[in-house]
Amino acid sequence: MIDFRKEVANCISKVVPSLGKEEIENLVEIPPNYDMGDYAFPCFRLAKEFKKAPNLIAEELAEKIDGGVYFNEIKNVGPYINFFVNTEKLVETVLNSVMEEKEKFGSTNIGKGRKVLVEFSSPNIAKPFHIGHIRSTVIGNSLYKIFRFQGFDSVALNHLGDYGTQFGMLIAAYKKWGDREVIEEDPINELLKLYVRFNKEAEKDESLREEARYWFKELEDGNNQEALELWQWMRDISLKEFNIVYDMLNIKFDSYAGESFYSDKMPKVIEEMEEKGMLKESRGAMIVDLEEYNMPPALITKSDGSTLYTTRDIAAAFYRKEHYDFYKNIYVVASEQNLHFKQWIKVVELMGYDWAKDCIHVPFGMVSLEEGKLSTREGKVVFLEDVLNKAVESTLAIIEERNPDLENKEEVAKQVGIGAVVFQELFNNRIKDYVFSWDRTLSFEGETGPYVQYTHARANSLLDKGEFSLANKVDYSLLIAEEEINIIRLLYQFPEIVIDAMEKLEPSFITRHITEIAKAFNKFYNSCPILTVEKELKNARLMLVFATKTVIRTGLDLLGIEAPNRM
């Protein structure tokens, strides 16, 4: 595909040889609207060299630049040189590229030979897989897909919370009040009841917390068979429940190695810290002092010798470097854990490992309910499975009302309902907090997943009715309407948007861009007849429909959303 930004740099470098092409490319901007051109070069940087005001430089250079075959017009607007792309060249390069590359349009092989680990979802065993987990789950899955799309060897890791004092609480609670048969019937709800009850009782009786600590220590030491068997049972039944949700979301993991997997790998790491003189004693606990880096101390072992998240994450990072030799080790974890990640990554750096910089925390904002904050301890949760099921049921009701004869309507309801939930999650910048609302999640109006999916289905229907074939001869010069060119511009930008989403670890760039493509397509659909025009124009417009459908489908796939052919 023609790189018009590079062509702008080529044009300018001929009249300003003092600037390198790469430097010019970095200075090139996209104007706020197409009336001002497709690209703009600011001349402020040249004021010192030319000893003139930037607007005079722009005027002088605009007259000298030859746009060749790539630009129809070059003119200055104030201190900017504005470039108007040759639309026929733009149409030809975009449609040819999509036709040749199809669902690979926008992908590259920049990641070839490099491994990227993405740790995401990572719910706590024996606790609800609730709406708060959806952010890590869908952001992480999208990043995994985006890196893979760019040629990286992506590895999806589910770092299960299957260790820690909570298991001491659960074992103690089970031994006091548990019933195995009842729990087997409804594992997560029943284990949640035990957990909530234990915390309430512990507020009245502090000795219960000691009991919980005892059972966790027994579990960590690995000598108590009863503790180990109860823990394994709780882990197995929880994972079975979690996989119901992962199947609904069509998410698969390469590894479910949770915190417990690293329990035997921690002593080696602690020993190395000791050898390097990094550990200090503080009230019986062992810490790494991070005061000079404006951080509180990193707690490595408690006073009773048991370990913490920090120790386990450091051990996990070492294991992953040795086992995978990663290029990047990405953690999709809520912004509440910002300090935790800064601390342990700094500890790895202080241990002398430069790959610490390749361990990257991707934070995101928190989810709260309209009635307040989620709290597992208090039992205030909304189960993710319930959210997804309700979305599917609501979608099916809409289909029954609007298109009762639709084939495979249950399957389409699942694709659209779950897609609506995922799309909403990935539409806003990930760092923003938000309040979960049923009404907003299940709305099918405006900038929503169902709107984009319906656009894809509409395009598919047009291709079928028009008997479209890639073998049809296409005259690109016929695509001159403003509505057609606006879609082409957005399709042209798609590869750059995907790279940007990868580099900034921000799937919402793709969500918003395919929404803009869908809007542009629907304007085109309403303004430009497609199936009723003469053959040559029909073929050209159907090729544009095919390109739009293909890019929307690719974009949805990168978000982890399916694209139904019929709706």
With b for 16 or more beta-carbon neighbours within 10 A and e for fewer, the 289-299 pattern comes to ebeeeeeeebb
Q: Are 53 and 4 in contact (CB under 8 A)?
A: no
CA distance 193 to 188: 9
Please report where in the chains the tokens 């809409």 appear, as a residue: 398
CA distance 527 to 498: 29
Residue type, 192: L
Q: List for the chain the helix, strand, coil content (%; round to 5).
A: 60, 10, 30
- Is 127 among the residues known to form the active site? yes
- Is 130 among the residues known to form the active site? yes
Which residue is catalytic, options 21, 112, 115, 127?
127
CA distance 562 to 567: 12
With b for 16 or more beta-carbon neighbours within 10 A and e for fewer, the 374-394 pattern comes to bebeeeebbbbbebbebbbeb
Residue 553 exposed, middle or buried by CB count within 10 Å (0-12, 13-18, 19+): buried
**Other CB atoms within 10 A of residue 108 CB:** 14
Which residue is catalytic, options 130, 361, 414, 538?
130
- The H-assigned helical ranges of 473-534 are 482-503, 508-527
- Is 361 among the residues known to form the active site? no
Q: Are 67 and 73 in contact (CB under 8 A)?
A: yes
Per this entry, what is the length of the chain?
A: 567
Residue type, 453: Q
Quickly list DSSP for 95-128: HHHHHHHGGGTT---TTTT-EEEEE---PBTTS-
CA distance 59 to 55: 6
**Other CB atoms within 10 A of residue 173 CB:** 24
Residue 532 exposed, middle or buried by CB count within 10 Å (0-12, 13-18, 19+): exposed
Which residue is catalytic, options 133, 145, 456, 538?
133
| Element holding 7 (H helix, E strand) | helix 4-15
Annotated active-site positions, please? 127, 130, 133
